[in-house]
């Protein structure tokens, strides 16, 4: 697995989610399994099967988050260079064809959240913007074909 660069805020948010899953999540699943077990024959108990599936999914999610933490590196935003697009920079881009402007923050996959305009550096847009400077044109492959974006601003 590759290194995941993230902000201190993103790291703390994921840590809280992991802690919640390990404590409350596991307690809830254990209760559901115990309640289903009390209802009798386990071979024909759909509630028991569902609870065991939920337990498996919970443990999978915990395992995935632990892998992210094992490879996480917290970046000090004050040390970032804003002459080029890098992880944790805010990038204002303009669609060359229709003139639409939007600002995104490039983040690690674990922190990506489109509602907050945080996109993953491994996404097609993120990949296309990395390393570009103000004034450069980034051609991004989209399902409807290539789209050109001009880099207007890079900031923290």
For 6, list phi and psi in degrees, rounded to 5. Answer: -150, 165
pLDDT at 86: 86
Q: What is the pTM of this model?
A: 0.62
Exposure class string for 121-142: b at 16+ Cβ within 10 A, else e: bebebbebbbebeeeeebebee
Q: What is the pLDDT of residue 151?
A: 93
Q: Which of 9, 2, 14 is nearest to 121 (CA)?
A: 2
Distance CA 89, CA 77 (A): 8
Q: State the pLDDT at residue 88.
A: 84
Predicted pLDDT of residue 21 = 93
Bridge partners, residue 141, by sequence = 146
Q: What is the pLDDT of residues 35-88, one digit of tens each?
A: 888 877 766 778 888 888 999 999 999 998 888 888 888 877 677 777 888 888
Q: Which residues touch 152 (CB under 8 Å, ≥6 apart)?
A: 92, 93, 94, 101, 134
What's the confidence (pLDDT) of residue 42? 67
Domains belonging to the chain, first-starting first, are: 4-74 (1.10.287.180), 77-155 (3.10.50.30)
> What integer pLDDT is reported at residue 19 of this predicted model?
93
Token code pair at residue 64: 């995935």
């Amino acid at each position: 697995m590759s290194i995941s660069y993230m902000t201190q805020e993103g790291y703390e948010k994921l840590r809280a989610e992991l802690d919640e899953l390990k404590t409350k999540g596991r307690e809830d699943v254990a209760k559901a399994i115990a309640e289903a077990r009390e209802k009798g024959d386990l071979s024909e108990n759909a509630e028991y099967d569902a609870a065991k599936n939920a337990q498996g999914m919970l443990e999978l999610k915990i395992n995935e988050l632990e892998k992210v933490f094992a490879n996480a590196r917290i970046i000090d935003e004050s040390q970032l260079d804003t002459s080029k697009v890098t992880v944790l920079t805010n990038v204002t881009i303009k669609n060359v064809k229709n003139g639409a402007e939007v600002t995104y923050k490039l983040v690690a996959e674990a922190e990506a959240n489109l509602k907050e305009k945080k996109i993953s550096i491994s996404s097609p847009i993120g990949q296309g913007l990395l390393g570009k400077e103000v004034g450069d044109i980034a051609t991004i492959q989209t399902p409807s074909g290539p789209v050109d974006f001009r880099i207007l601003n890079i900031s923290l």
